[in-house]
């Protein structure tokens, strides 16, 4: 089977991102925003249970009283519906806005989110509503290649923050000079999330994380 075509790498200049300041690339769901909480509320309004008993998404969706999770096709349809009309309703992760606002004084911020294309308008509105008017890039799949393409456009120090270990490992592989950090916003997910602190520092408090990013990009 042929590999999916790689997404084009956006130009930092066209995004309005300076090449003269350090670059911080940040995920949204479970990093800047409480996705699981918001998605769970959306599911409850449609009569489903969202049981966070594993580090997964569709396998945590149940009909009330059911022992087996919802079929993946129905879960995917609910996921797409949420992103098409409700993804702007999630809450910011505690401390995230304050930390990014502080970081932005001396660094450029790019938001890199794996989300369906229909989420772009609402996700951009959500960022602006919460005082995060930074360029947004929607992508899919491992984030290493697109991060490497973005990082290659600047000679400054760079950092990448995500909740998912595969994305962090992908960035480390494709852009090894980029400092990587793991953050899991939802307290229910934290004990379930795979981590590799020897490769990617795991910092679930945004105030502490912001300070660590500052050290990484400014020395």
What is the DSSP code (8-state) at residue 166? H
- Domain spans, the chain: 12-34+91-218, 36-89
Q: Is 3 helix (H, G, I), strand (E, B) or coil?
A: coil
Tell whether the model's pLDDT for residue 20 goes beyond 50: yes
Smallest CA-to-CA distance from 214 within 98, 104, 93 is with: 104
User: CA nearest 154: which of 7, 23, 24?
Assistant: 23
Report whether CATH 3.40.50.720 matches the domain 12-34+91-218. Answer: no
**In contact, 138 and 115? CB cutoff 8 Å:** yes
């003269």: which residue's tokens?
20
Sign of the torsion formed by the C-alpha atoms of 124, 129, 132 and 133:
positive
Supply the pTM of this predicted model: 0.95
Task: Give the pLDDT band (50/70/90) at residue 3.
Answer: very low
Say what the pLDDT of residue 210 is.
98
Q: What Cα–Cα distance (Å) separates residue 53 from each residue in 28, 119, 193, 214?
A: 22, 27, 11, 34
Digit-coded pLDDT (tens) for 87-124: 999 999 999 999 999 999 999 999 999 999 999 999 99
How big is the chain by its Cα radius of gyration, in Å? 17
Convert the pLDDT of each residue in 29-48 to its tens digit.
999 999 999 999 999 999 99
Tokens found for residue 208: 């502490």
Closest CA to 95 of 213, 208, 173, 216: 208
The confidence score (pLDDT) of residue 6 equals 61
């Amino acid at each position: 089977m042929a590999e999916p075509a790689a997404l084009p790498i956006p130009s930092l200049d066209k995004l309005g991102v300076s090449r003269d300041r350090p670059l911080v690339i940040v995920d949204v769901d479970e990093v800047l925003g409480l996705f699981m909480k918001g998605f769970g509320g959306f599911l409850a309004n449609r009569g489903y249970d969202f049981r966070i008993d594993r580090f997964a998404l569709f396998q945590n969706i149940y009909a009330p009283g059911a022992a087996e999770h919802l079929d993946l096709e129905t879960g995917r349809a609910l996921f797409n519906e949420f992103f098409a009309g409700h993804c702007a309703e999630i809450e910011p992760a505690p401390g995230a806005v304050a930390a990014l606002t502080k970081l932005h004084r001396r660094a450029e911020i790019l938001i890199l989110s794996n989300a369906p294309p229909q989420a772009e308008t609402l996700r951009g509105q959500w960022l602006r509503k919460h005082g995060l008017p930074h360029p947004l890039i929607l992508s899919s799949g491992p984030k290493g290649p697109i991060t490497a393409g973005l990082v290659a456009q600047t000679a400054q120090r760079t950092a990448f923050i995500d909740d998912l270990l595969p994305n962090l490992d992908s960035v480390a592989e494709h852009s090894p000079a980029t400092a990587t950090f793991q953050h899991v916003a939802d307290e229910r997910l934290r004990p379930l999330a795979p981590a590799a602190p020897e490769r990617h520092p795991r910092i679930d408090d945004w105030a502490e994380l912001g300070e660590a990013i500052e050290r990484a990009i400014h020395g």
